[in-house]
Structure 1
Amino acid sequence: MSETIKPIGIYYEHPDWFKPLFAELERRHISYARIDAAHHRFNPAETDSPYALVVNRMSSSAYLRGNGQGIFHTAGFLTHLEQIGVRVINGTMATSIETNKARQLALLSSLGLSYPETRVVNHVSQVLPAAQELRFPLVVKVNIGGAGAGIVRFDTLEGLEAAVNADQINLGIDQTALVQEYVQPRGGHIVRVETLNGRFLYAMKVFTTGDSFNLCPAEICAIPDEPAADFCLTDAPKKGIQVEEYTPPTEITAAVERIAKAAKIDVGGVEYLIDDRTGEVLFYDINALSNFIADAIKVIGFDPYSRFVDYLEGQLKKTQLAEIV
C-alpha cells in the first residue's frame, strides 16, 4: 500500500481481545493505528481525520476495568467523525444500541420480535413495583453491562424486597436497569449468531452448566474463579465450555439480519434462546462488540477475522474511490 494512504484507525479499549485482528492486519501489511479509547482526546473543530476509516471496538464492560469514561466519550468522538465524513465501522447508531439494553429491547419491539418480559427502571424505588408486574424468578440487570456484569437473580418478591431495603440493588453507571423475567433455555443452551455487513456469518450453541441463571451468555457459561470483566463468551472453547457450530432456522437467521441492519451494526452478534416453558424464540442481547470465537477453525471451520479484514479492505477501497471522485 502507498505510504500516502491514511491508516485504518482501530478504536479499542480491552488490552487483549483484538490481538487476532491486529495480527491479521499485519499479516496483510495493511496500515493501521491503534487508538486507545480509555485515554483519548479529539478536537471537535477538526475538519479532517488522520484515518481513512475508523473501526469502533469500544467495550461496554470498560467500566469494570476502570475505563468507564471511554463509554461516554465514544458517543461524542464517533459523532464528530461521522460529521466530518469519516467512515466508521459500527458507528453512532450501533454504539447507541450496544451500550443501552433498554434501546435493544425497544429495537426488538419495533421489529415485532419477542424478548423476555421486562420493565425498565431509573430509580431503586421503581424496582419492586416493576417486579410486581412480572413473574418470579426474575433478574435485575444494569442497562450498561458488558461481559455479563451486573445481573442478579431473585426467586421471590420477599428476597428482592430485602435487597432493596438493604441498599443492595445496583442500577449501574447510568442509573438505569432492567427488571426482567428469568427464562430457562430449552436444551440447556443459548445461541449466538454473528453477522458481518448485515449478513449471517456463523452461529454457535453455548451450553449452560445447569448452575447459571443469567440470560447473558457470559454468565450462562459459569466460569469458576473467572472475573466477569475478563471472560468473554468467545473464549468458551478455551475454558472447557461446550460449544457447537449451529445453523439456525431460516426465519431466525432472517430476523437476526433484520436486527443487524436496523441497528446499523457492521459486525456484531445477536443472542437468543428458546423458552423451555413455551417453545417461544426470545432474543435478549444485541452486541456490536463481536470478539470472534476462540479456536474458530476447529469450531466453525474458518477464521472470521480473515473475513472481517476482507470486509475492511473493501470498505477502505470504497473510501479511497470516494476521495478520488
Structure 2
Amino acid sequence: MTQGRSIRLFLVDGTPNGLLTAEIMNWTGHVLTGPRSKLSELVQRPECGRTGIYFLVGPDPENSLRPLVYIGESDDVSTRLKQHNRPEAVSGSGGGKDFWEKVCLVTSKDQNLTKAHVKYLESLLIQNAGQVGRCKLINGTAHDYVNLPESDRADMAFFVEQIRTVLPVLGYDFLRETSRPSRAPEATPATELEASPRFTLEVPRHGIRATGQEIDGEFYVFKGSLARGNWVGTERGYQSLYNQLCEDGVLVEGSNDTRVFNEDQSFSSPSAAAAVVSGRSANGRTSWKAEDSGLTYGEWQDRQVSVAVNEAGE
C-alpha cells in the first residue's frame, strides 16, 4: 500500500481563490500559487525573490482537454514573472506570454537551490511533462544539464518527486503520471483496492464493444475498444470531448461506421467514457458491466462500499 503523506496548505489572504502556499513534511521545498489577477501581491512575497522553478498555466483554445504550460527557472522569480506579464507585442526572450491565467512557483525554504539546480530541475520537469502528455508545453525541447555532481542529481530527483506529489493537490495535473492499465499485470491483493475489475460496454446493434477499468480515480477505456462512428446525441454534454478525441487521433476511423481507440484513454468518470463510446449521453453506472461478475459499475461500487463498512465494523 502507498504510504500516506501530509501536506500543509495555507490560504494567504483567507480566500480559496487567492494566494496559496503548500509544504510537505520533511521536504525543504515551498510552493506558492495564485491567479494572474493576484500577481501584484504575489511578486511582493519573499519567495519570489529566491531562486526557483515556476509554472505558467492557462487554457488551450485549440484543445479543451489539456492546458498550455510554460516551465521556467530564475534566480529572481519576481523579475521573470513581471517580464512574462508584459503585453505579447513586446515579447522576446523572456517576454510576455498572454496565455497564462495561473502561476505556481517552487523555491526552497533553506534557500539552498542554486542556478545550476533549477536549470537541472527545469530540464527534468519539461521532460516529465512531455512524457506524461497531460498538457501542451510552450517550452519546446528541454535542454540537458548533466554537469551537476551525482549527489546533487539525486537530491533534485527527490525534489521533482515532491513537486509531482504536491502539484495535483493544488489542481495542477500536468505532471501526474498516467497509468497504463491495459498493459498492467493482473491485480494482486496489494492492488485490488486501487484497480477495479475490467468492465465492458456493448451496443450490439451498432457492433460496438469497449473494455475499461477504473484505476487511481480515473476510468480508462483500453486501446482497441470500439466507439460510435459519429456523435448522434444532443449538442451538449460530452460532444466536445468526443470531437476532441477524434481531432487528437485517439479515436480513429474503423469499419462499419465505428471508431477505434488508438491508445488507452482516461476519463473523469465512467459516464464520460460511456458517452464517448456510445456517441451520446449515457449512464456509466449502468452501462459498464464487470467481465467477471456481470455486475454493473454502480452495483460493483455499492458492493465495495458495503464490504468496507462491514470490515470497519468488525
Q: TM-score range by the shorter chain?
A: under 0.3
TM-score normalized by structure 1?
0.26
Q: Which has the larger radius of gyration?
A: 2
User: Which structure is higher in RCO with an 8 Å CA cutoff and minimum separation 6?
Assistant: 1
Q: TM-score, normalised by structure 2?
A: 0.26
